[in-house]
Amino acid sequence: MGNYNKKEYIIRSYKGSRELYNYFWKLTERLNLDDSNPAQKTLRKAYHKLLVHIFVGTKVRKKRNKQAGIEVEIPVSWELIARKLHRRIRVQKLRECGLIQIKGHFHGPQGGKSREYRLSYKVFEKAIQLEADLFITNWSDLITKSKVPSMVDIFTGKNKYTSQQTQVSLYSNSIKFYNIPDLIKNSIKNSLAPFPFNPHKIIPWLEKIRSMKWTPSQGQ
C-alpha cells in the first residue's frame, strides 16, 4: 500500500462527552474481541482509536473544505496504522461490521498511497447527534451551575478536567480570576457586564430541542 508518509499522523486527543466515548467503544463490541485477554483488549482499543480518528478527521476536513454530508474520506496508510495503532488491525473487519466504508487508494503528494475511509452513514449521524446533545447540556450547565462542564478524551475515555485555575463564573458578580493576564481579565469583565438578556429564558428552548426527534439531512 505504498510508502509510509512521515507527514501522516493519527489524531491523539479530542474532547467530547462520556456518551460519545461510550458510543464508539460499544461499536467495537461487533469485532468480538475478548476483553479478558489483554492482547485482544489492546487491539480493541486500537480499533476504537481508528474509528475516532476517522470521525474527527471527517469533521476537520468538512469544516476546512466547507463540505456538507459525510462524503469526505480520510486517507490512512496501512503503515501508519501499524506504526501508530496496531499491526493486527484489519480494516476489512470494520467494513464487514458495517462501521466504515473503504475507498480505493489515494496517491499523496509525496508519492505514497493510502486507502481512504469514512464512517458509515448511521454511525456518523449518531455521533453528530451526541455532539449536539453535548452542546445543549453544556449550555444548560453554564447557565444553571455557572461552571464549565467536565469533558473526556474520546480516544481514551480519560477525564479532561477543567482546573480551578481556568474556571470563570458565568456571572459578573462572582467572577473568579486566577492565572489570567490582565488584558484577558479585563475583556472578560467587560463581556460579562450586565446587559438586557436573561440566559435562563433559553433553557425551555434548549429542552425543546433536546426532545426533538433527530432526522438525517435530506439527500445525504
Between 180 and 44, the higher pLDDT residue: 44
> Tens of pLDDT along 86-141?
999 999 999 999 999 998 765 555 555 688 999 999 999 999 988 888 777 766 66
14 with 155: CB under 8 angstroms?
yes
3-state secondary structure the chain: CCCCCCCCCCCCCCEECHHHHHHHHHHHHHHCCCCCCHHHHHHHHHHHHHHHHHHHHHHHHHHHHCCCCCCCCEEECHHHHHHHCCCCCCHHHHHHCCCEEEEEEEECCCCCEEEEEEECHHHHHHHHHHHHHHHHHHHHHHHHCCCCCCEEECCCCCEECCCHHHCCCCCHHHCCCCCCCHHHHHHHHHHCCCCCCCHHHHHHHHHHHHHCCCCCCCCC
The reported pLDDT for the residue numbered 171 is 39
> Tens of pLDDT along 198-219?
556 666 776 676 666 555 544 4
The reported pLDDT for the residue numbered 196 is 53
Query: 476483553: which residue's cell?
Result: 35
The reported pLDDT for the residue numbered 176 is 46
For residue 160, is pLDDT > 90?
Answer: no
Query: 462527552: which residue's cell?
Result: 17
